[in-house]
Amino acid sequence: MINKYNKEAKFDFACILTTGRTGSDFLQGCLDGMTGVITFSGEIPFYAFLKDKKTKEFFQEKNSKKLIKHFVKKHPNLFFKDKLENKVINLNIKKFYRIFDELSNEIDFNRKNFFINIYLSYHLTLNRKIFKKNIIVHHSHSVEETEYFCKDFDKTKVLVTLRHPFQNLKSGIINWIKYDIKKNNFHHFYLYVRRIREDLIFALKKKSFFVKLEEMHLKKTKKKICKFLNINYTSKIHTATFANKPWKSDKLSSFNSKNGIFNKNVLRENWKSFFSKNDEIILSYLYRDYVKFNYNIKKTSYSDKFLIIILMFLPLNYERKNLISILFSNSIFLIPKNIYYYFRRIAYYLRVYLVN
C-alpha cells in the first residue's frame, strides 16, 4: 500500500472555520474525495489533543506507535461511529496503523509531520491517490484551532462558512436544546451570541474565502471554492460524503439530507417569529458586520442606539418566555451559574457598545 505514496508530492494547506451552525460539515463533506484534496471524516481538535498529558509524554518519548493509538482512542468518532454527526465510518484501523507506521519511519518525528501523516494514512487507507500537487483541508472549526493551524502551516487558505446571524442564532439555540436539554441555559446562550460575532471578526483579519450557507449549493459558488483551493471542479463537490459514504446531516439538523445532496429546507428563514422587534434592534447592532456579505440587517438609528442601552439588560424573546424552564431545567444548584452568564452577556453587549 505504501508504494502509492508519491515521493515527489507537494502539499498546500487549507482549513475550514465555522461561525456557528453554518454548514461547515457539509462543505468539508463536499470536498471529501475530490481529486487532489486530502481531508478527514470530520472536525479534528488537533491542538487541543497536543495539550493532553499522555500526548505530551508520548511526544517526549518520540513514540509514534503509542501516540497514534492514543489519538484514535481519544477520537473514536473519526474512525468508527459519530452519533452526533450521524456518521458510520468503520475505517480499517489495522490498515491505518500499518500505513501510519510506514510513513512515520520515513520522516522526522515532530508535531507537523505527525499531523500530516494522520491525514495521509487516512487518505491511503481509503485507497485514494496522492498526486504531485495536493491540498490538505483541515476542519479546524474553532478560532483557537484555526489560529494554531495557521501558525504551523504558512500560507494556509482559510474557508469560512457564514449564515444570516439571526437564523444562525436561532438554530444554535433551538436545535441544540432539542438534542440536549442541558443546553437550555444562559451559559450556552452567551457563548453562542458571542461566537457568531467574534468568529467573523477573527476571520475578517485573515485572507479568508467566505462561503454563505445560503449560496453553498450553487454551481458558481462551488467553482469559486475550487479556484480558491486551486483544484479542478467536478460534480463530486455537490455531494457530501465521509469515507466515501453519503452524509445525512448531523443529529441537530431539523432536515436530513438525501444522499449527501444539499437540503434546500435549511434556506428557510423563520427567525422573525422567534425574535421580537427589540431583539432585532440589539442583534442588528451586534451583528452589523454581516452587512458586508449582503445580509439584510437593519441599520441602527440614533434613537435605536439610546434604546440599546436599556435593551442590553433585558432577556431575548425566547429567554423571557421560557425563563422559568431555563433556570430550573437542569438543577436548582445551577441557578447561580445561569445568573453569572446572563450578566456576562450583558457585559459583552456593553463592551461592544462602548468600544464601537
pLDDT digits (tens, 9 = 90+) for 133-156: 999 999 999 999 999 999 999 899
pLDDT at position 251: 75
Whose cell is 417569529? That residue is 273
Query: Could you tell me the pTM of the whole model?
Result: 0.94
**CA–centroid distance for 213 within its chain:** 13
Distances (CA, A) of 229 to 121, 221, 222, 278, 291: 22, 12, 11, 41, 26
Domains of the chain (ranges, CATH numbers): 2-189+208-246 (3.40.50), 271-355 (no CATH)
Q: Which parts of the chain sit beneath pLDDT 70?
A: 1-6, 254-256, 330
Neighbours of 288 (CB within 10 A): 18
Distance CA 145, CA 202 (A): 12
Cell 451559559 belongs to 187
In this structure, are strands 245-246 and 241-242 parallel, antiparallel, or unpaired?
Answer: antiparallel
How many angstroms separate the CA atoms of 345 and 188, rounded?
11
Q: How far apart are the first and last CA of the chain?
A: 57
Alpha helices in 205-260 (DSSP H): 219-229
Q: Is there a contact between 33 and 244 (Cβ–Cβ < 8 Å)?
A: yes
Nearest to 28 by CA among 265, 252, 242: 242
Q: Residue 355: its pLDDT value, please?
A: 87
Helix (H) / strand (E) element for 139: namely strand 133-141
pLDDT for 5 equals: 66
* Strand 133-141, strand 10-17: pairing: parallel
Tell me if 35 sits within 8 A of 232, measured CB to CB: yes
Note the pLDDT of residue 40. 97
Residue closest to 320 by CA, chosen among 275, 270, 271: 275
